[in-house]
């Protein structure tokens, strides 16, 4: 089968590699002058399962409301009549309970750990190495509330297989 892969970042090239290994004829198209100049470059060489906490959470409604008026946040929300966006928003908000946050985060963590294992295996199998960082990530919190929430989320991820060390300011 002929397959077209859009993007020569880490995901696109990995997909192309596995498709070609399976016998497919693969063409990769990249919009930049070189591979890995988009999202892969912006992620600073990190494959970070620690970011597996689901976005849909009890705090999401407050963030959503703030995004309506504060356009400096990481998300932008524009109010307009759009039945598809309204339907999506309602489905998203139904996921904003603690129980769904935990379940969705656990699924994301399993996928993130599997993805990390796959990229490590691919690197070993091909001898191709990238500007990877394997020393971990430091997360900083601006308030006691965000620290408490983050600590709860990271402890939950640790209970499900992610090695995490929580340190204090000292």
Query: Number of structural domains, the chain?
Result: 1
* Residue 109 maps to a domain: no
Paired with 25 in beta bridges are 2
Q: Establish if 100 belongs to a structural domain.
A: no
If pLDDT is split at 50, 70 and 90, which confidence band does 74 have?
confident
pLDDT at 46: 66
What gap in Å lies between CA 45 and CA 162, rounded to an integer? 19
7 occurs within a structural domain = yes
Structure confidence at residue 54 (pLDDT): 92
For the chain, percent of residues with pLDDT exceeding 90: 45
pLDDT of residue 160: 93
Q: Is residue 94 part of a domain?
A: no
Query: Is the pLDDT reported for residue 28 higher than 90?
Result: yes
Asked if residue 101 has pLDDT above 90, the reply is yes
Q: Which of 60, 8, 66, 67 lies closest to 33 in space, CA to CA?
A: 8
**pLDDT, position 41:** 65
Q: Is the pLDDT of residue 114 over 80?
A: yes
Q: Is residue 5 part of a domain?
A: yes
Of the ranges 59-73, 75-89, 128-142, the best mean pLDDT one: 75-89
Residue 99 phi/psi, 5-degree rounding, is -60, -45
Confidence of residue 19 (pLDDT cuts 50, 70, 90): very high
- Kindly state whether residue 35 falls inside one of the protein's structural domains: yes
pLDDT at 165: 87
Question: Is 51 part of a structural domain of the chain?
Answer: no
What does the mean pLDDT of the chain come to? 87
Residue-number span of the structural domain to which 8 is assigned: 1-42
Classify residue 8: in a domain, yes or no. Answer: yes
Mean pLDDT across the stretch 4-21? 93
Q: Residue 168's pLDDT band (boundaries 50, 70, 90)?
A: confident
The alpha carbon torsion through 65, 67, 68, 70 (nearest 10 deg) reads: 120
């Amino acid at each position: 089968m002929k397959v077209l892969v859009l993007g020569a970042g880490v995901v696109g090239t990995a997909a192309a590699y596995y498709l070609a290994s399976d016998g497919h004829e693969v063409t990769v198209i990249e919009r930049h002058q070189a591979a890995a100049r988009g999202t892969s470059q912006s992620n600073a060489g990190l494959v970070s399962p620690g970011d597996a906490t689901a976005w849909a959470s009890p705090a999401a409604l407050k963030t959503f409301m703030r995004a309506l008026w504060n356009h400096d946040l990481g998300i932008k929300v524009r109010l307009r009549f759009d039945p598809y966006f309204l339907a999506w928003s309602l489905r998203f908000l139904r996921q904003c309970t603690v129980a769904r946050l935990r379940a969705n985060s656990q699924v994301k963590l399993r996928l993130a750990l599997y993805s990390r294992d796959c990229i490590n295996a691919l690197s070993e199998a091909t001898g191709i190495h990238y500007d990877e960082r394997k020393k971990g990530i430091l997360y900083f919190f601006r308030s006691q509330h965000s620290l408490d929430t983050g600590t709860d989320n990271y402890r939950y991820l640790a209970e499900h297989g992610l090695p995490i060390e929580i340190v204090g300011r000292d």
